[in-house]
Amino acid sequence: MQDALNPGTPNPPAQVPLPPLRRELRSWTRDLAVSLGLAIVVMIFLYQPVKVEGTSMNPLLSDQERIFINKFIYRFEPIERGDVVVFWYPLDRSKSFIKRVVGLPGETVEIRMGRVYINGEDLTDQFVPSTYLDGSNYTPRKIPDSEYFVMGDHRDSSNDSRVFGPVQRQFIYGKAVFAYWPVDHFGSLAPTSTVNAASK
């Protein structure tokens, strides 16, 4: 049995293959759109741009500098000494602060003439210039569980745990990871040195 044909209906035209350059451009455009979409999703859900206000984290961060914070990193790894963290200000939860973690839960922190001691041992803060140290004292105090002692790198110009006490873990919501503005500060915010205090 033969299929019926309508002689009044013309055969569909054969598809003309796209030129190689046009195919390549279409492929690049699709890949670029997918990459941008993924980047936007990552930026929205993993990273958050923030503007630094104040000078307490000089010289690492300057006033009005723009950085990215990772909002999910501490779901997968612990907070460590030397991390630059963003947290809700304990005395006013509508404000955010950015400081460096100096003391960990369970440790005893003490400050003598501006020098920080953890469990009685001198903390080597090589990322704090000597001109930014102050002569403050802080009597030995044990950091409660799930709390962190934070300080600004510009010690004589910082409102930090010396004033408002250790910060509860639940109020720390991000880690500073990357600076993007101004362009001369563009780059990673990974610690530039290690600290040599004992963690007993």
- The answer to whether residue 99 is catalytic is yes
The tokens describing 106, both together, are 């369970």
- The answer to whether residue 62 is catalytic is no
Rounded to 5 degrees, φ, ψ at 159 are -95, 105
The residue from 35, 62, 71, 99 that is catalytic is 99
**Nearest in space to 81 (alpha carbons), one of 194, 173, 190, 162:** 194
84: three-class secondary structure by DSSP = strand
Distance CA 114, CA 138 (A): 9
**Nearest in space to 192 (alpha carbons), one of 130, 125, 136, 93:** 125
Distance in Å from the first CA to the final CA of the chain? 91
The residue from 51, 56, 95, 161 that is catalytic is 56
What is the H or E stretch that residue 23 is in?
Answer: helix 20-45
Question: Contact 148/124 with Cβ under 8 angstroms?
Answer: no
Residues known to be catalytic: 56, 99
